[in-house]
Amino acid sequence: MLNDRKVSFSGIQPSGNLTIGNYLGALKNFPYYTENYKCFYCVVDMHAITVRQVPAELRRRTSETLALYIACGLDPDKNTLYVQSHVPAHAELAWILNCFTMFGELSRMTQFKDKSARHADNINAGLFTYPALMAADILLYQTDVVPIGADQKQHVELTRNIAERINQIYPDLFTVPEPIMPQAGAKIMSLADPTKKMSKSDENENAVVRILDDRDTIIRKFRRAVTDSDTCVRFAEGKDGINNLMTIYAAFTGKSMEEIEREFEGRGYGDFKLAVGETCADQLAPVQAEFKKLCADKAYLEAQMKKGADEAAYYARKTLSKVKKKLGFII
């Protein structure tokens, strides 16, 4: 809570061009909290460098991610939208939380295991301690809810454990946050390998649909999506590809699996894939148009980025000072 208002915090890494996984699992759900919560939505560039980035691309994607936040309906006058590295308190608190986070806990994180397998030549300490920085992101704002996709649930649970551990020593220092996941779309799978999560850093372009892909590309990618040799659109075990497409369709339309099965009864996969592609393209079109407008006005974006950083820094400093005082630092 901050000033008697509940707090929503979430972040997205500018580690690639955002996908419909990031959109359906996280971004699309952020505006829901705007009216009733104090909202902080951050572009977490410091997390992105746990994997090597090309500096010019990181810079471009950081601004573009902030623009996408606004294009997806986050009003910068009602939400604090900012870039993580602009608020040094994130790094400061992360160091402190590292000293309350156990080696064993970090070793169990699925994302660390996955990413170290994918980047075997660069298993750096940042990749390992990433969850302590994420805990700092969240705890700095006395966050109540963290809207996220399913893959980040384990990190929010670790954040809760860290907060509870510290609160046992220094009572009421942190609000203990709740992860919130959407009913449909919490885990969108790759179109090329539906047993694997869709990830923005996937090198196979056919595996991911990006928020900014044009209509033809979106429809083509869905048409190529891996399915199975059956022909019936139904949600069932062993039909990972179709289950994923049905989940995407459900998340965009709000329809239930039963409704989708009825809608496509007696029609083949071709019809269904086209409908998913068209629906996705239709829903992303207004976001893309807004994004284009925003990117044409660099001065506006820079001003919003600066305003967001100032607002976030104000609240972050308050928590950080409280933490430092409790720990015995001279402030």
Active-site residue numbers?
115, 197, 200
**Residues numbered 16-45 forming contacts with ligand AQP, rule: CB under 6 A:** 16, 19, 21-22, 24-26
Sign of the torsion angle spanned by Cα atoms 201, 202, 203, 206: negative
Burial environment of residue 166 by CB neighbours within 10 A (0 to 12, 13 to 18, 19 or more): buried
> CA 1, CA 269: separation in Å to the nearest integer?
48
Identify the residue among 43, 188, 218, 294 touching ligand AQP (CB under 6 A).
188
CB closer to ligand AQP out of 142 and 152: 152
Closest of 182, 70, 141, 165 to residue 315, by C-alpha: 141
- Between CA 32 and CA 236 the distance in angstroms is 31
Site membership for ligand AQP, residue 53 (CB under 6 A): no
* Beta-ladder partners of 286: none
In the set 70, 71, 148, 312, which binds ligand AQP (CB under 6 A)?
A: 148
* Choice from 86, 200, 210, 239 touching ligand AQP (CB under 6 A): 200
Token duo for residue 231: 């022909």
211 vs 260, beta carbon nearer ligand AQP:
211
Instruction: Considering the complex, state which of residue 194 and residue 308 has its C-beta at the smaller distance from ligand AQP.
Output: 194
Least distance from ligand AQP to the Cβ atom of residue 263, Å? 23
Select 123 or 327, whichever has its Cβ closest to ligand AQP.
123
Give the residue closest to ligand AQP by C-beta. 25
Supply the DSSP string of 201-225, one letter for each residue. T-S-GGG--BTT--HHHHHHHHHT-
Per CB under 6 A, residues contacting ligand AQP are 12-13, 15-16, 19, 21-22, 24-26, 148-149, 151-152, 186-188, 197-201
